[in-house]
Structures are given as C-alpha cells and as structure tokens.
Amino acid sequence: MTNEQTPQLGRSRSRADRRVHAVSFHGTEVVRYHRAGKWYLEYADGTRDNVGVLDAAEFARRTCHAVRLGLPGGAKFDKAVAGR
C-alpha cells in the first residue's frame, strides 16, 4: 500500500464532511459523515454498511488497529470505544 492509498485518520478522502475514525487491518474504515450525522463501515471493495454509533464503536474496539479519538461529532463513539 502506498502513501496515497493509506487512509488518513481524521482526514477526508473525497468529501469535506467525511471523517475516518478508525481503520481495520483489512482496510475497512469506520466513517462518520458530519452533515448527515450517519456512521458507516466502508469496506476496501468500495461497498459500505450504515451502522449505529455503538455498532461502529464495537467494530473499532474489536477489529481496528488505528482508532482516532477526539474528532468532531465523535464524542459518543469515543466514550463507547473507551468503555465509559
């Protein structure tokens, strides 16, 4: 994977309101779209699933090697990941 392909945690790849909160070993990203307030699991093959914030946090806790806390709109996610 080159630097251009490596996901930037907390940075948008395609849209200004897209934030990557976590990345799994398999390339799945836990993403929140700020304007819509929706959470998605976006897979390496380009597909995605809409999930709730608690499901997104559980996925991040179980399978992600990189989790970014403190991003805008992610307070509930942060608490769930931290187990508070």
pLDDT band per the 50, 70, 90 thresholds, residue 12: very low
Rounded-to-integer distance, Cα 75 and Cα 24, Å: 20
As given in the structure block, the two tokens for residue 66 are 């990189």
Predicted TM-score of the model (pTM): 0.78
pLDDT at 6 over 70: no
List 67's β-bridge partners, or say none. Answer: 22
Segment 64-70 shows an average pLDDT of: 94
Q: Are 34 and 72 in contact (CB under 8 A)?
A: yes
